[in-house]
Amino acid sequence: METKPIIGFTTGDLNGIGIEVLIKSLNASSILELCTPLVFANPKVINFYRRTIKEDTNMQYHVIKDINKVLHKQINVYSCWEDDVIIKPGNPDSSLGKYAFLSLQQATDALLAQKIHALVTAPIDKSNMISEQFKFIGHTPYFKDVCKAKDVLLMMVSENIKLGLVTEHIPIARVAEEITKELIVNKLNILQKSLEFDFGIIKPKIAVLALNPHAGDKGLLGKEESQIILPAIKEARTKHNTIFGPYVADTFFTRNHHEQFDGILAMYHDQGLIPFKTLAQDKGIDFTAGLPIIRTTPAHGTAYDIAGKGIAFHDSMLQAIFYAIDIINYRKSYIADRANPLNKSLSQQIISNSVDEMLRD
């Protein structure tokens, strides 16, 4: 644990592209120089996709049965189940949700027990996952629950854009009623702390997007800007005076204003994800901010339409791995920079213990 970080990986939906892009990513020569991979899966599933994808892959791995016996300089696979699973790439299958959950659950246990430094999750099919054990509409609320976090922030991250969402996976008809001054202030606090703690940006400059077209057009198209968003920005600025807005969402991106800010807060899912995915292309990832643990994921879904064809791009998975490693290092630097040089080990322990509490303020 004092050398290269151990990065955990989940399988995601077994009929999606998750395992394919994971194999392609772990096959990169640089990966073992940067981290020790630990995949939570059944080896037979890994072998199935090694045979299925068309490109040549020499990915070798070591199967372990004891989470404490990870081999460094090798790819490790921790066997999560013994069942023989029928895999039909591209076909949604509710029976496979059980195995995606087993992978996620055991990887999460290892993460919370600090057996791994960070977790990269492959895409799941929410409709297949939801059960008595998994009652969430995605990874973000799941990790919020298991970490007992007061609030979290779903962030979309690429080299030039770091964007958070006030609301996530809810119907568009509910967005306006869900947005409150308190919610925006909480999300801004998490975004500001994450930009510093997870990405090493000192005094980040943050832009807040409006909800309505033309930022409400002086109340003609909605009053949320004047009654909710602007008061939230003013309150947040009492602690962090580098928060600005609300900005008209369409011109903000078309005029490249995003390049002038370290972070952006969007009001709802598509308002943020459409421009983000257009600009980031295959280089973007998801990151859950506000947690004591580190979890990243590719910014794409199961992609059933191309699953099993060997043509899925693995750029986003590769970026999810790189960002997980970067965030580990940024957090270490953040803690080290604030440690008392006269008693650094004690100070580091105190700060480490307070990280979770700090993120939940």
Give the pLDDT confidence of 50-75 residue by residue, as tens digits: 888 866 567 789 999 999 999 988 99
H or E stretch at 92: none
pLDDT at 197 over 80: yes
Omega before residue 123 within 30° of 0, cis: no
Owner of token pair 């994808």: 53
pLDDT at position 130 over 80: no
The tens digit of pLDDT for each residue in 215-251 reads: 888 888 999 999 999 999 999 999 989 999 999 999 9
Q: 153-289: which CATH topology?
A: Isopropylmalate Dehydrogenase (3.40.718)
At 281-317, the pLDDT tens digits run 888 999 999 999 999 999 999 999 999 999 999 999 9
The tokens for 27 are: 């096959």
Residue 357 has pLDDT above 90, yes or no: no
Region 95-112: mean pLDDT is: 95
pLDDT of 327 over the 80 cut: yes
Region 322-346: what's the mean pLDDT?
A: 82
Amino acid occupying residue 277 = K
**All structural domains of the chain with their residue ranges:** 1-150+290-361, 153-289
User: CA torsion sign, 104 to 105 to 107 to 113?
Assistant: positive
Give the confidence band of 38 by pLDDT, cuts at 50, 70, 90.
very high
Give the SS3 label for residue 83.
Answer: coil
At 102 the pLDDT is 95
User: The domain 1-150+290-361: what is its CATH number?
Assistant: 3.40.718.10
Q: Does 1-150+290-361 match 153-289 in CATH topology?
A: yes
- Counting beta carbons within 10 angstroms of the beta carbon of residue 348, is it exposed (0 to 12), middle (13 to 18) or buried (19 or more)? middle
Strands 36-41 and 75-79: parallel
Average pLDDT over residues 259-268: 97
Q: What value does the mean pLDDT of the chain take? A: 90
pTM greater than 0.85: yes
